[in-house]
Amino acid sequence: MRIAFYAPLKPPTHPVPSGDRRMARLLMAALSRANHRVELATRFRSRDGIGDPDRQKALAELGRHMAARLVRQYQTRPDAERPELWFTYHLYYKAPDWLGPSVATALDIPYVVAEASHANKRAAGAWAIGHAGAAEGIRRAEAIISLNPNDMVGLAGVTDRNAILVMLKPFLDGADFSAAANRRTELRTDLAKRFGLNLGAPWLLTVAMMREGDKLASYQVLGSALSALRDRPWQLLVVGDGPARAAVEQALGGLGRSRVHFAGARLPEELPGFYAPADLLVWPAVNEAYGMALIEAQAAGVPVVAGAAGGVPTIVANERTGLLTPPGDAAAFAAAVRVLLDDSERRRAMGETARELVAADHDIGAAARILDRTMQDAVNRHRRRQ
């Protein structure tokens, strides 16, 4: 099937690494693995991050023009080269889909969305225009794929009652992470040399962008929690960068230079080599949807301590693959880290279980099968409505 793929928040080709970009790429890869031909329809970003009604109006108008242009472009193609389905990833009030519904209607093809969210509290606020646009896209969708079960509650009042609703667990291609886990000793020796890490002390790892808002809040909770663990021998390796780097360094600055090491931003292909040598991934996950780093760490055989926000409990099996704590609770987070710092055998067992569960429940192969079935169901439903 020929699929036009669109990510209004951030295109999968965006140069700044993020979990959102990572999942967009994984969705495209999973669809391709299911023998669909996936084409990025546009790189147009509809995001308004500050709540500016004039900007939302301008983006909506630009979206309408771009949709009309796309329709003209597609209609010049032979029938065998036109999209047979439109797929939009991650639309919500800050990044509605101003293109997909119009294009799908003009071409008479199914419209499918993944990771959509809806909150009535935005209906009359600064993002009212974006909220209405996102709601219209969700209402128009013939299939909705949710990666976070918490989103289903908000979607219930706006989706078409006949829409196909599918839960898809966040997933990844775990081959490189599993391979890195098999080279743990070698990779640990290499990182120790590169970053001056002590091979004899437990390694804590954080992998996250450095930006204002929830990411910075998570770093601040992490700094507060780890400050209560100075009586334990540990080191923290931080992978990530961004505009809030100075604020992050300040949040972790009180822990001491000998304990905290910054590795900067890393390419996706480098990440398995950072996860596998670690003893524990630590991330408070303030307002996190689910957290790709949590899945990646577990795929590499590393247990996690995380805040139980959003969909995090659906990817971290509490007491089995890691420990979950109340969101934003630095004291509880510190206590959980302390428990696992003091029990290397429990860390090892959790890591082994994490690797097994990710391979069984969060692998790209299983996701490809679910997505393929959903695409076929959407096409069949669309034909029945004609």
Q: Token pair of 96, please? A: 């509605």
Q: Both 54 and 199 in a single domain?
A: no
Statement: residue 386 has pLDDT above 80: no
Distance CA 241, CA 44 (A): 24
Total structural domains within the chain: 2
Q: Both 161 and 182 in a single domain?
A: no
Q: With pLDDT > 70 as the criterion, what percentage of the chain qualifies?
A: 100
Q: Average pLDDT, stretch 190-202?
A: 94
Three-state helix/strand/coil letters over 138-176: HHHCCEEEECCCCHHHHHCCCCCCCCEEEECCCCECCHH
Three-state helix/strand/coil letters over 100-135: HHHHHHHHCCCEEEECCCCCHHHCCCCCHHHHHHHH
> Are 206 and 237 contacting, i.e. CB atoms less than 8 angstroms apart?
yes
Distance CA 304, CA 212 (A): 23
Q: Average pLDDT, stretch 300-308?
A: 98
Q: Both 117 and 259 in a single domain?
A: no
Q: Which residues contact 291 (CB under 8 A, 6 or more apart)?
A: 19, 283, 285, 306, 312, 315
Q: Token pair of 322, please? A: 């890691």
Q: Both 154 and 229 in a single domain?
A: no
Q: Which residues contact 30 (CB under 8 A, 6 or more apart)?
A: 171, 364, 367, 368, 371
> pLDDT grade, residue 141 (50/70/90)?
very high
For residue 13, the model assigns a pLDDT of 93
Q: Both 80 and 204 in a single domain?
A: no
> pLDDT grade, residue 18 (50/70/90)?
confident
Average pLDDT, the chain: 95
Distance CA 271, CA 283 (A): 16
Per-residue pLDDT reduced to its tens digit, 23-61: 999 999 999 999 999 999 999 999 999 999 999 999 999
Q: Both 45 and 60 in a single domain?
A: yes
Instruction: Look up the domain containing 89 and give its range.
Output: 2-171+363-385
Q: Which of 374, 358, 355, 350 is nearest to 314 (CA)?
A: 358
Q: Which residues contact 101 (CB under 8 A, 6 or more apart)?
A: 111, 136, 137, 140
Q: Both 101 and 222 in a single domain?
A: no
Q: Give phi and psi for 128, each to the nearest 5.
A: -60, -40
Statement: residue 289 has pLDDT above 80: yes
Work out the angle at residue 300's Cα, subtended by the Cα atoms of residues 183 and 36, and round it to the nearest 5 degrees.
115
Q: Both 91 and 192 in a single domain?
A: no
The CATH number of the domain holding residue 367 is: 3.40.50.2000
For residue 16, the model assigns a pLDDT of 82
Distance CA 167, CA 148 (A): 8
Q: Both 298 and 316 in a single domain?
A: yes
Q: Both 231 and 311 in a single domain?
A: yes
For residue 150, the model assigns a pLDDT of 86
For residue 33, the model assigns a pLDDT of 97
Q: Both 160 and 307 in a single domain?
A: no
Q: Across the strands, what pairs with 325? A: 307
* Full-model pTM: 0.90
> pLDDT grade, residue 17 (50/70/90)?
confident
Q: Across the strands, what pairs with 91? A: none
Per-residue pLDDT reduced to its tens digit, 324-365: 999 999 999 999 999 999 999 999 999 999 999 999 999 999
Alpha-carbon dihedral sign for residues 18, 55, 148, 281:
positive
Q: For tokens 């991934």, name the residue.
A: 281
Per-residue pLDDT reduced to its tens digit, 241-284: 999 999 999 999 999 889 999 999 999 899 999 999 999 999 99
Statement: residue 216 has pLDDT above 90: yes
User: Residue 205 is inside which H or E element, if any?
Assistant: strand 203-207
Distance CA 384, CA 242 (A): 48
Write the single-letter amino acid at 375.
M
Q: Both 223 and 306 in a single domain?
A: yes
For residue 159, the model assigns a pLDDT of 92
Per-residue pLDDT reduced to its tens digit, 97-122: 999 999 999 999 999 999 999 988 89
For residue 152, the model assigns a pLDDT of 86
